[in-house]
Structure 1
Amino acid sequence: MLGVGATVTLAVWNDSEWVVGGTAGAGGDPGTPGVGTSTFEVQQNTSSPFVADEWTDEETNPGGSLVFTAGALTLTPGDSIYAPVSLSTTDGSVAAPSVRLSGAVDATNIPTEDADGLLADALQLRVVVATGARDAAPATCSDASFGLGATFVVGSATTTAALDTAGATVDALAADSGNQLNYCFEISLPGDAPDTLQGRTVAPAWQFVSSSELI
């Protein structure tokens, strides 16, 4: 007898499953991404008197302009001038657990008259900060801001520091425009300033470094 070969084809069933990094499987709308990044944005307000809707982004030197009290360009020995700035996160931003004030540097593209930096070296700085509600007018930035109960970022109630002194790190800006930090700057010309400082000008610029993590 001749043997007859037989070929047998076995059928199989196949199935596959996909998953997506989206929110449809968690009760979200189909097609909605499930992975993304947070938003982190801090703004400043240098208006004086304070105006609630004047928040701006000024992320490069020289930045927003501080509004000093009268006599900023006509200092005489013993004079002090004051200027406020407020910081806040924007709506939708995560919080800023810490904010650090960097030491002053020369403002970009602002011409000054201070050969050898003598006036910049002579000027003294103090900075205080207080936390307030978003868009609430802070206390007037003045000599009264620098009493014993104040939170000092630069200097103290009894001491001043060089103009380019970096400030202490403070906390914290709440998320979603939840509060604001109200800074008050004091610049003073010592009473023993020499006559060689007459007729000079400076344009110091400060940077606030904020982070969504502690720094």
Structure 2
Amino acid sequence: MADTRRGMREGKRLRSRRIRALLAGGLVFGVGATMTLAAWNDSEYGSATFTAGRFDIVGATDGTTFSSHPVGTPATLSFSTPFNAMAPGNTVYALFSVRTANPSVAGTLQLSVTSTAGTGLGTYLRYGVRSIAGTTCNGTTYSAGTAVVPDNSTMATGGTGTQAVAANGGTTVNYCIAVTLPATADNGAQGLTAIQTWQVAGTSS
């Protein structure tokens, strides 16, 4: 009887050791399963800085010396003689060159009339504007140019089209302006004056 009880106790201890061993093994297996989920990581990033450009146009009356002429301080155009003593049938010419400054983005130009003042000669005068290839503005180069304002327009007439200018002063638009006192002008035009102001408006593109 005693041997039987002793055998039963030893069997219980053996089973207990086996259960503990299995539990310990399960814990080890659990740790091993968790470790297999780990991974190395790496990333790549990209960034950029954005800056707004500028748009600025400048003009020159000689095709060479460019500067800004804001409202209220227009450039003085150099018309050919006899702009200050015109007689019926006379036509006088003047150059006005416009381009973008450096730096500046590209854009387009449009010529318009700001005002016609003076003592009334403006009502007699007629004019036209053409864009020309070079900076020599006279009857010959004017005739070969591209119309911006039609010939024989009143002094209040502006251009309807636009002219492209490249960025950073890359291209120049040379406006050749021809102003005529028609041969039909009567004696009432004598001694009168006209003060004409044009505007070249630029728009970035």
Q: Which residue of 2 aligns with 1:35?
A: 50
TM superposition score normalised by structure 1:
0.69
TM superposition score normalised by structure 2:
0.72
How far apart, in 1, do the equivalents of 2:80 and 2:160 lie? Answer: 24
4+ aligned runs moved over 3 Å, structure 1:
none
| Gapped regions of structure 2 (runs ≥ 5) | 1-44
- The amino acid that maps onto 1:130 is I
> What are the residue-to-residue correspondences of 1:122-141 with 2, within 5 Å?
122-130=124-132, 138-141=134-137
| Equivalent residue pairs, number | 161
Q: Which residue of 2 aligns with 1:92?
A: 103
1:144 maps to which of 135, 140, 143: 140
- The amino acid that maps onto 1:93 is S
The 3 A distance-change label for structure 1 pair 80 and 210 is same
How far apart, in 1, do the equivalents of 2:127 and 2:72 lie? Answer: 19
> What are the residue-to-residue correspondences of 1:72-87 with 2, within 5 Å?
72-87=83-98
How far apart, in 1, do the equivalents of 2:156 and 2:116 lie? Answer: 10
How far apart, in 2, do the equivalents of 1:61 and 1:124 lie? Answer: 24
1:70 offset after TM fit, Å?
1.3
How far apart, in 2, do the equivalents of 1:185 and 1:104 lie? Answer: 15
SS in structure 2 at match of 1:176? helix
Q: Deviations over 1:37-75 (max 9, x none)?
A: 21100000112xx4x3x1110011351010000111100
Q: Which residue of 2 aligns with 1:194?
A: 186
2:67 maps to which of 35, 56, 59: 56
Report the RMSD for the aligned CA atoms in angstroms: 1.9
> What are the residue-to-residue correspondences of 1:106-185 with 2, within 5 Å?
106=116, 112=118, 114=119, 117=120, 119-130=121-132, 138-147=134-143, 149-155=144-150, 159-185=151-177
SS in structure 2 at match of 1:102? strand
Amino-acid identity (%): 27
How far apart, in 1, do the equivalents of 2:195 and 2:126 lie? Answer: 14
Say which one has the larger Rg: 2
Q: Deviations over 1:123-142 (max 9, x none)?
A: 001100035xxxxxx24211
| Gapped regions of structure 1 (runs ≥ 5) | 1-23, 29-33, 132-137
1:25 offset after TM fit, Å?
5.1
Q: Is the 8 A contact 1:104 1:163 kept in 2?
A: no
How far apart, in 1, do the equivalents of 2:124 and 2:73 lie? Answer: 21
SS in structure 2 at match of 1:144? helix
- Which is richer in helix? 2
Deviating more after overlay: 165-174 vs 196-205: 165-174
1:68 maps to which of 73, 76, 79: 79
Q: Deviations over 1:6-54 (max 9, x none)?
A: xxxxxxxxxxxxxxxxxx954x8xxxxx23321100000112xx4x3x1
How far apart, in 1, do the equivalents of 2:138 and 2:111 lie? Answer: 20
